[in-house]
A and B are shown apart, each in its own frame.
Chain A
Amino acid sequence: MSKVDTGKPDLPAVTPRGTTPPAAPSKGIRRATGRGPLARLGASGFSRIAGISASLVGTQAFTSVLGLIFWTLAARVFAPSEVGVAGAAIALMILLGSLGSLGLGTVLIARLPMTSAGDRRVLVRTCLAAAFGGGVALGLIVPALAVTVFGVTALAPIAGSLVPLLGFALGTGLTSATIVLDQAVLTIGIGSLQLERNVTASSVKIIALILLAIAGQHGGMVIYLAWTIGTLASLPLVAWRTRGGRALSRGRALFEPRLLRGLGRVAVSHHALNVTIQAALQLLPVMVTILISATANASFNAAIMFAGFVFALPYAVSIGLFAAARGDESEIVKRMRLTIPFGLAISVAADLVIIPLAGPLLHIFGSTYAAEGTVILQLIVLAGLPFVIKDHFIALRRVQGRTTQALAMTSVFLVLELAGAAIGARVGGVVGLCLGWIAVLVVEAIVLAIPLIGALRSARATPSPVDGTSVDGTAVDGTALDGTSVNPTAILVEFDAPAEVDAPSTKGIGLDDNPEIASNAEVGRVNEVVSEPVGMPGGPANQRSARESRPRSRDSALSRWFGRNQTGPTLFIMALGVFLMAAVATAGRGGETGTLIQVGWVTGLIVIFAPAVVRIVSRATPTVERVVVAVALGMMLQFSRLVLNPTGFAFHDELIHAETLRQITETNHLFTSNPLLPVSAYYPGLEVVTNAIERLTGLASFPSAAITLMLARVVIVLALICVIRLVTGSYRAGAVGVVIYLANPQLLFFNSQYSYQTLALPLAIAGVYFFAARRRGSRLSLILPIATTVAVVFTHHLTGALLIAAFAVWLFIVAVRGHRVAKLATPGSERVRRHTAGDLRGLVLMTLTGALALGVTIIIPGNPILSYLGSIGSSSGTQLLDLAGGSKPKALFSDSAGTGPAPWEQALLIAAVLIAVASLLIVLGYLRTNIRAGKPLAVLLGLVAVLYPVIPGGHLTSATAEVGDRAAGFVFLGLAVVIGTWWWKRARNVRSQGIFVIGCIVLFIGNIVLGAGPTAGQLPGPYQISADARSVDAANLAAAEWENANLPRDSVTYGDRTSGMLAASVGGQQTVLHVSTNIDASRLLLAPTVTADDLSIIDQTKLSYLIVDERLSTGLPHQQFYIESGEYGNGPKAKVVSSAALHKFENIAGVDRLYDNGSLVIYNLEGLR
């Protein structure tokens, strides 16, 4: 397969770039003899490397020439913008095609030689089908998402309509399939077939391009079509050349997916590394198209194509090095001393040739390309030098069996390369993009040179053990790709590894009492693993052990320090983070909201979060400290909200519940009317607890509420740790799970607010735990779980309903498990049957009790819960249907006032979403393991985790955004359990711990942006219109306090979103809202003139006072509405309300203007009734 537009074309023997190469060709390599320099080179094995490299480059050259012809024709016939689009489309196709191939080519290289002749064709067909499917899926989803969701209009020619999108998907599918096919044909002994197929494809696409041009077709996707036709036309050739083995597979099914079983993990490991290596060069043309223009990409594409010849040289050297070393690390290190300088020299030489000839070379495409692409080509070829270092690093890591580390490094640097390119593009166009990219490459080369230098030094000092893996047909992480292995621990599926149990604590849940752990015991999987896993003899684990057995005095001191209880210092540092946030909030209140303040705010959050994560994740940390720090982390984060708004409620939902609290305090009774959200008064659990604390201590409402929230936070953290411990047997896994949970998008913002879900959720988790951990055989033990369930229902409708649903699903899972266990006759299965029967009865009782409690709340007179949830459901459904029908999704990165997160915040947000999406792979493995192990609670929690896509997906419409966000508190419970379990199942070295810590921090900060919005908006600062806490300023509070002191209690008032809520919760008035009165009074503020409709509304509502915030006319609202959904003007605001509208009651007879504080004015409208 040729990729003429990439800088690092696939080498014919190892498509795509970087996969494990086959045995090095030995033809044509003459071993030098004698004593001269050449003889020394030959004796060092360099001639072998040179031979392999030359073979690879030479084979590639022919197809590259054909590719050059193709692009030259395209450049001459089509417009630069069309060539640019085609370049981006093909680069994207190649990247997605590589991703879609799922690493199956590498699998085939290893598997085919060991597969019977009859199975081979079926296996190849199955792999091809899987790759094709993967490619098509990615080809459909990615560009469609880019265009419709992220608004990348530059890719509209690819995905803006159905036909091009389908064509793109087909081409991507074919690419995936041919990547796999090229590797398969190598293995079955027809090595030349790969070259033949590539030549055929290249030739046919040239012909197709000419014919399409003659037919008068135009457009970037026409060029793409020609490419695809070439690929398609090459397939019959392969079918014809491999017809000989058809008889062997006669009578077999066309595809047999079972043949792919067990290969996933290993394939993914190599595949991921291959993809990250080539991704940058494939993404750069796409980035140029998106960030600059398709026309600019035409020249860029051409430059990349020529630069590819330069990049191929060091790449070929590294592959030759790898192939010649035959898996012997010492061989690679020995030869690196020659190949690195040689590669650098070749790159310099190539640069010296290309740089002066850049203009004339690009003239082949046309004068425009030469004019615009010369500097670009001159810059890009410089990347060949850092590539030498990078390729050697990867070769070294492959043979060391540390592909995972290599993957981590390349992934991080990939992100940095793209970021550097993007920043450069913003600053300086295409040239800036090149400079930015190369700058990162240079840094990357410096960083990656360090392990190379280290390996060279170590090779001088200590010889490394050999793991004996072979290059031919085996992967280089010491694991055979078919799953058999010299290192079985490396290939164990993650969750088949034995669970870790903490230091014995029979005081914990007795094994007899917990079917979850009991079932583990049944299959004999409960073990105690204290530290690093035991390495298998002869495997890479031994190499790691060998490395670890080197001088330990330095490591021991560090380990000792890490192993001591550092609770005090850790909590101290976290407290300093809170202090920093308080200082930053102080500055924000003073009007400073610039970058420094925002950085300070985020730094404060990291200072709270990071030390805790480091200590929790570290294996050396004592368990007690781990648990204490986890609890403290939750509490510190809650405390950080207090320093933000230290004296009163400020957020929308808080004001609603403050109103319910006020009414309970004033009336001493429950279920009164709350005009701000009537349904909330019928679920007053939060306010009841607060009222209790208020009465028992004599504290004011706000401090009592703060104590309630802190208690809720303690409960949720403790409950999480206990639930995870129940499932895994490990407090340490529980602490890690807490870290993941506290990184959920809603924790810092919504689930820290004084809102009913904030208390209901912790109680729900505690209720699950109380049930799961109860003493079996005792009916009394059900009292607490039942009471907790009723308390949850009494506190929040939806959480109660979800808890009941969870019990119902749990009941189903237990019933299914019980059915399976009933068939077993193994020792211990009788005890499991008894447990199951007890659990079934208990779950039935829990479900029924919860449902009954919920039913009771529904029938309380006046409870509008059904209509409330119905309206949420219908508005969400309507917007989802509109979206499916083609309407534009909600703007992802801006609010209704047009403000949104800064680019760095957007990047963090996307990174956080990607990390969470990637963790779904772990969730799937977890589910599989626990379904097999028959652990109902674990399965239930895994199913909850699978729902993660609801959270980012909900942001496609404004109605579902809130639904998706609210789901985070539930979904992350499942993720916490899964990730906590996964992390603790295996030994993790310091590097992986570091990567995990960084991942958690990115997840934490990115999710805060997702849940709470931009940092600038989180901080206190100057007043903003309809912006939650930023609208609760001195003027609004003063007006509300004046109302409280001077207006008759519960007078009917109307105001905007903030002033109206404050009038109720602080002012003691009755605010008119559509949600409570079914009357839309918004025209009182927003309509331009006073009409009979206004007078009618005043009469209907018996309105006494109108609160007007004159600042509303200075801008758009940040939270979609000035007042509430459906307000005058219909839909989200696109127009600023006029000053005339706000002042229309000024001169009306009978209207008094009673209050003026410079921002807010209060009118008395009683004279109009």
Chain B
Amino acid sequence: MTTVQTARYSPDTATRRGLAWRAAIIVIAAVSVALELPALVRAPLSILAVVVTALFVFPRIARRGPLDRLLMIVGATIVLLLLLGPVLNVLPTGLDVRGWGIGVGVIELAVIVGFAFVRPPVTAGSSRVRRIPIEGIAWGVIIAVVLLNALVISVNSFTTTHQAPLALAGVRSGDSVTVTVSSGNAAGIYDLVRVTSTGHSVLASGIEVAAGSSRSITIKVDANTRETIELVKPGTLTSLRELTIDTRTPASGANR
């Protein structure tokens, strides 16, 4: 394949047509980003916009082998994104979705317009029928399936083994506390017991917590007191989890 370039090339009709539909894709992608469409829509469009820009530019990069051009395109893409960041940063909107959508769209348009004035290469034997690399595609699919499976089993096992443990949490709000029992994988039935200086009392019994769910109750706390809320199995006194709500002021408390 040879590359022939002249400095004063004007895009021909085919190139202009190609420019047009590429620009359309770029604009659609930019709009989808700016509108914050769901990832299922946004992602393929954004990737498509990048790909069409790259494929337009690829053969027009002068004096490079294919590997060099690929490096240039990938490298330049990263560099452009990287340098666009500080530019967006000075804008009031900053690095928000719209800024990125418009900024990347503008750059992509500028790139294809700029390279449209570079004469495309004349490929010897371009009229030759290209074979579809079926074997290559088949291997690619198989490899992708294997890798995808590897990822899926990893994610599944990670999710399974990283279930949140049984937890007891309390959020104070004024003179009340919202106590939440949550569990990732340990389903069960529990009692909540309040322990004060005067004794035990059951706050709630038979709290059923399913795996991956939580149950909350709100309790009132007295001023200038210290009370412990324990999560226990029904019929036992062994504390599984504990919270402490201490409304005493530090000066009056039994400090260590």
* Interface residues, chain A, with chain B CB atoms under 8 Å away: 505, 507-510, 513, 567-569, 571-572, 575-576, 578-579, 581-583, 585-586, 589-590, 627, 639, 642-647, 664, 667-671, 684-685, 688-689, 691-692, 695-699, 711-712, 714-715, 718-719, 721-722, 725, 731, 759, 763, 766, 769-770, 773, 775, 784, 787-788, 790-791, 794-795, 1033-1035, 1037-1038, 1041-1042, 1046, 1089-1090, 1144, 1146-1159, 1164, 1167-1168
Contacts and interface: CB of A to CB of B under 8 A. Distances in A.
- A interface, over-half SS: helix
A849 to B, nearest CB: 13
Contact of A1154 (B29, B76, B171, B226): B171
B70 interface: yes
Nearest to B137: A568
A794 B83 CA distance: 9
A680 B78 CA distance: 19
Q: Which 10 A-B pairs have the closest CB atoms?
A: A1149-B253, A568-B139, A698-B39, A688-B85, A668-B94, A1038-B164, A1157-B167, A1153-B244, A582-B150, A697-B43
B101 A669 contact: no
B74 interface: yes
A794 B86 contact: yes
Residue in B64, B75, B138, B245 whose Cβ sees the most chain A Cβ within 10 Å: B75
Given A718-B71, A784-B72, A1156-B243, A1150 B150 contact: no
Contacts, number: 292
Contact of A1090 (B80, B136, B172, B256): B256
28 contacts: A507-B3, A508-B68, A578-B147, A578-B150, A579-B147, A689-B82, A691-B100, A696-B29, A698-B36, A698-B39, A711-B78, A715-B71, A763-B75, A787-B83, A794-B83, A795-B82, A1034-B184, A1148-B250, A1149-B251, A1152-B243, A1152-B245, A1152-B246, A1153-B242, A1154-B170, A1156-B243, A1157-B167, A1157-B241, A1167-B246
Contact of B164 (A1041, A1089, A1149): A1041
B46 A697 contact: yes
A163 B171 CA distance: 71
A775 B67 contact: no
B82 A794 contact: yes
B14 interface: no
B170 A642 contact: no
B39 A699 contact: yes
Interface stretch (B155-163, B190-198, B203-211): B155-163
Contact of B85 (A589, A691, A773, A1144): A691
Contacts of B3: 507
A581 B89 CA distance: 41
Contact of B253 (A644, A790, A1148, A1159): A1148
B108 to A, nearest CB: 11
B43 to A, nearest CB: 4
Given A508-B65, A1034-B164, A696 B250 contact: no
Contact of A788 (B75, B85, B96, B166): B75
Interface string B7-34: 0000000000000000000000100010
Contacts of A714: 74
A1018 B128 CA distance: 52
Nearest to A1144: B256
B104 to A, nearest CB: 6
B154 A586 contact: yes
Contacts of A639: 147, 150-151
Contacts of B255: 1090, 1147-1149
Nearest to A718: B71
B122 to A, nearest CB: 13
B42 interface: yes
B254 A1147 contact: yes
Interface string B96-119: 110111001000000000000000
Given A589-B157, A643-B150, A1156 B82 contact: no
Contacts of B135: 568
Contacts of B162: 589, 647, 1033-1034, 1037
B15 to A, nearest CB: 21
Contacts of B74: 711, 714-715, 718
B162 to A, nearest CB: 4
A572 B165 contact: no
Contact of A688 (B62, B81, B139): B81
Given A568-B136, A575-B146, A647 B157 contact: no
A1149 B226 contact: yes
Given A721-B67, A1154-B243, A696 B100 contact: yes
Contacts of B184: 1034, 1038
